[in-house]
């Protein structure tokens, strides 16, 4: 996801899909999108069937923050990525979609005081969760780089919801820096993403089958964020819902 949040630092990246026919054309060395460490450990690589076509997939694992991520040269370009987002089955009228997103809100709300203001970051084409939170009496903005590129320059929030977003983001280092800048001290960040945990068979993992899912967090990655970004991990539930508090 090519986030350009217009809050001071341009993080837009444009990367074209390469012809992946020849493995030797692709280097085995890159930098971690979250902690910027040099990474050469290949976690998984294979030619696999995806969307009816054989595609080469290669994932690195960062030894510093444990992030597992798709080789940058294999990411979708922005027009294909947007097309895939529009194909996502996120029907705003489907109560199961709201129930799914609600997992993060149910975990977050007990930490919030009344009269606080939030941001739904990366809401996609339908700001379903943001609308629900507004109905609960909270003031809420929403932002999406493709569908709602609203100007949030200079704004700050008491809480940010970011559901099913971070697995899409190309430049996680800049993205987290911006999330921190948007949050007030003591503010809460609710992330939702499927964590890569010991029970996952990565080769067959459904979460990896979506071409737009390019970064996978492990518990050690959350610990890295806690230890390096002035954030305290205050809740983690079902290997999916994560709440941080900005210190």
Cα separation values, 237 from 51, 106, 128, 159, 229, Å: 31, 11, 22, 18, 21
Least separation, in Å, of the C-beta of 34 and Zn ion?
5
Closest to Zn ion by CB, 68 or 129: 68
Here's the x/- map for Zn ion, 52-81, by CB under 5 A: it reads as ----------x-xx-x--------------
Least separation, in Å, of the C-beta of 32 and Zn ion?
3
The closest of 105, 222, 221, 106 to 163, measured between CA atoms, is 105
Backbone torsions φ then ψ of 243, nearest 5 degrees: -120, 125
Closest to Zn ion by CB, 64 or 84: 64
Tokens 């149910």 sit at which residue? 106
Closest to Zn ion by CB, 7 or 36: 36
Least separation, in Å, of the C-beta of 218 and Zn ion?
11
Closest to Zn ion by CB, 34 or 189: 34
DSSP state of 77: P
User: And the tokens for 135?
Assistant: 């109905």
Least separation, in Å, of the C-beta of 229 and Zn ion?
12
SS3 102: helix
Q: How far apart are CA 118 and CA 182, in angstroms?
A: 10
Q: Which stretch binds Zn ion (CB under 5 A): 31-39, 51-59, 69-77, 157-165?
A: 31-39
Residues 33-52 that bind Zn ion (CB under 5 A): 34-35, 37
Total binding residues toward Zn ion, as defined by CB under 5 A: 8
CB contact set of 7 (below 8 Å; sequence gap of 6+): 152, 153, 154, 178, 181, 182
Residues 235, 226 contacting (CB under 8 angstroms): no
Count the alpha carbons within 13 Å of 36 in the hemisphere toward its beta carbon. Answer: 7
SS (H, E, C) 14-53: CCCCCCCCCHHHCCCCEECCCCCCEECCEEEEEEEEECCE
Closest to Zn ion by CB, 34 or 128: 34
Which of 1, 5, 11, 32 is the binder for Zn ion (CB under 5 A)?
A: 32
Least separation, in Å, of the C-beta of 237 and Zn ion?
24
Least separation, in Å, of the C-beta of 61 and Zn ion?
9
Closest to Zn ion by CB, 129 or 222: 222
Answer yes or no whether residue 162 interacts with Zn ion by CB under 5 A.
Answer: no
What residues are paired with 181 via a beta bridge?
Answer: none
Interface residues with Zn ion (CB under 5 A) are 32, 34-35, 37, 62, 64-65, 67
């Amino acid at each position: 996801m090519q986030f350009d949040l217009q809050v001071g630092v341009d993080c837009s990246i444009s990367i074209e899909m390469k012809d992946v026919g020849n493995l030797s054309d692709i280097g085995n060395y890159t930098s971690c999108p979250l902690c910027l460490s040099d990474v050469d450990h290949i976690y998984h690589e294979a030619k696999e069937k995806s969307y009816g076509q054989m595609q080469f997939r290669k994932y690195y694992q960062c030894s510093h923050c444990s992030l597992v991520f798709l080789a940058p040269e294999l990411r979708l370009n922005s027009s294909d990525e947007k097309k895939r987002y529009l194909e996502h089955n996120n029907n705003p009228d489907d109560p199961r979609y709201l129930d799914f997103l609600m997992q993060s809100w149910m975990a977050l709300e007990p930490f919030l005081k009344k009269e606080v203001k939030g941001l739904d970051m990366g809401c996609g084409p339908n700001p379903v969760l943001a609308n629900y939170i507004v109905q609960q009496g909270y003031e809420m903005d929403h932002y999406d780089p493709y569908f709602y590129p609203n100007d949030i320059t200079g704004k700050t929030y008491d809480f940010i919801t970011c559901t099913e977003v971070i697995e899409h983001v190309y430049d996680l280092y800049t993205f987290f820096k911006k999330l921190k800048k948007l949050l007030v001290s003591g503010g809460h960040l609710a992330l939702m993403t499927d964590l890569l945990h010991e029970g996952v068979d990565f080769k067959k993992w459904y979460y990896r089958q979506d071409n737009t899912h390019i970064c996978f967090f492990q518990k050690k990655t959350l610990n890295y964020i806690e230890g390096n970004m002035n954030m305290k991990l205050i809740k983690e539930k079902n290997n999916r819902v994560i709440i941080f508090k900005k210190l």
